Amino acid sequence: MAGAAGRLTKLAEEVLGAPLPVRIRAWDASESGPPGAPVLVFRNRRALRRLLFKPGELGLARAWVAGDLDVDGDLYEALDLLAGTIWERGEAAGKPARTAALRALARPEIRAAGKELLSLAGLPLPPAPPAEEARPRRGALHSLLRDRQAISHHYDVGNAFYELVLGPSMVYSCAYWKPAGQAAGGAPTLEEAQRDKLDLICRKLGLSEGRRLLDVGCGWGSMVLHAAREYGVRAVGITLSEEQATYARKRVAEAGLTDRIEIRVQDYREVGDGPFDAISSIGMAEHVGRARYAEYAGLLYGLLRPGGRLLNHQIARRPLVDEEAYHVDEFIDRYVFPDGELAPVGRTVAQLEEAGFEVRDVEAIREHYALTLRQWVANLEQHWTEAVRLTSPGRARVWRLYMAASALSFERNRIGVNQVLAVRTPDSGTSGLPLRARDWRG
């Protein structure tokens, strides 16, 4: 194993206690690892410095975002191999993978290899984090101020960038894919699958002419536009993103629906003009946080009229033996969704019920999100040069890594996504739902 790549491979395999499943190419053009495997490229010594000063996921993420670390070959294959060797390996044992790494580094032979790499890395100072990393946040966790900062970090990246990634639908949540034989013209497009998702939600909510809808976390306005145009509702859409609100208002005006749709920059905790006949919350509850979830559920319950329905569309994680051991993914927290938290679907259902809701249906659509994310990655890669121009090379790399890794997480059942239909059932016990399962027209 000559060159820097050989030394890197040796240390990694000693720490992991298993062969490295990918090849390594170092800054000196040396390579090491299994032939034909995807290549993890260390473009410079700075990549190694990032890993040495911040071992684990955050160091890898910083090196990737900065462009110091890259993959030559299939990104999905590389992430899949690394996930099975490093992250999932540690999670399966109930401990972070870094614990095993620290134990290995205590052995004399590994310390010697580490010292050799330290000399290669050109220390002493750690590189500054990439500019795309979220700055320290002000205010208490999930306070109004801090939530606005977190949402701005993720969504105020530029509407034109999101147009490239999401396509014409401008829907930033899991699409609903029909089998190819059921779609007009063969396999459905992303646009058709997003339209079908919005329509499914409208039907689950029992929307009809004149009913009043609140869309919590309305994004760029796609749900309220579909509901008003196709079902004749009067809709209020709320978001904490100024850029999203501006874009959504423009779409509403262009559709001639300003008399039916109002877009507000407003937190769900600030809505005071209920009651509503229906509430949709699509991909928003992940931002609420477990400390605030009971409050979230209670407030939405209070905003509905008796008999009103809530459709809560939310990503879920697998439950842990020790729920107190749950920690937010460092890459996601620093670069994608600051302060975002996932919960098992069972906890979500329980908290909705504790708030007073009657939960009537839970539909798991995990595989649909994997398909959606792969479409978004394809869109980003197809428009890479323009995406970099609109944001930055680092920001485009954040989204490519986040979406590709998330697609694999859904495919491997590490995370899921569920649509929970809940009703504020009146004292009479009449829910207003049809007897027939999943016939949402009642």
Question: Read out DSSP for 340-404?
Answer: ---B-HHHHHHHHHHTT-EEEEEEE-HHHHHHHHHHHHHHHHHTHHHHHHHS-HHHHHHHHHHHH
Partner residues linked to 359 by β-bridges: 422
One pLDDT digit (tens) per residue for the chain, 442 residues: 568 898 888 877 776 678 889 999 999 999 999 999 999 999 998 888 888 777 778 888 999 999 999 999 999 999 999 886 655 544 444 344 444 444 544 455 545 555 555 555 555 567 889 988 887 677 888 888 888 877 777 676 789 999 999 999 999 999 999 886 565 666 899 999 999 999 999 999 999 999 999 999 999 999 999 999 999 999 999 999 999 999 999 999 999 999 999 999 999 999 999 999 999 999 999 999 999 999 999 999 999 999 999 999 999 999 998 888 888 888 888 888 888 899 999 999 999 999 999 999 999 999 999 999 999 999 999 999 999 999 999 999 999 999 999 999 999 999 999 999 999 999 999 999 988 767 665 4
The total number of structural domains in the chain stands at: 2
Q: Are residues 252 and 345 located together in one domain of the fold? A: yes
- Would you say the pTM of this structure is higher than 0.85? yes
Alpha helix ranges (H) inside 54-189: 57-66, 75-82, 88-92, 97-105, 108-121, 144-155, 159-166
Q: Are residues 65 and 154 located together in one domain of the fold? A: no
Q: Are residues 177 and 293 located together in one domain of the fold? A: yes
Considering the domain boundaries, does residue 131 fall inside one? no
The overall longest dimension of the chain from CA atoms, in Å, is: 78
Considering the domain boundaries, does residue 23 fall inside one? yes
Q: Are residues 99 and 156 located together in one domain of the fold? A: no
Considering the domain boundaries, does residue 398 fall inside one? yes
Half-sphere exposure of 244 (CA within 13 A, CB side): 27
Answer whether 74's CB lies under 8 Å from 145's CB: no
Considering the domain boundaries, does residue 136 fall inside one? no
The domain boundary residue, chosen from 65, 90, 121: 121
Q: Are residues 54 and 15 located together in one domain of the fold? A: yes
Please give the residue range of the domain that contains residue 390.
Answer: 144-423
Partner residues linked to 222 by β-bridges: none
Task: Identify the sign of the CA torsion 337, 60, 343, 138.
Answer: negative
Considering the domain boundaries, does residue 441 fall inside one? no
Query: What does DSSP say about strands 212-216 and 39-42: parallel, antiparallel, or unpaired?
Result: unpaired
Q: Are residues 189 and 110 located together in one domain of the fold? A: no
Considering the domain boundaries, does residue 244 fall inside one? yes
Q: Are residues 296 and 358 located together in one domain of the fold? A: yes
Considering the domain boundaries, does residue 139 fall inside one? no
Q: Are residues 345 and 202 located together in one domain of the fold? A: yes
Considering the domain boundaries, does residue 431 fall inside one? no
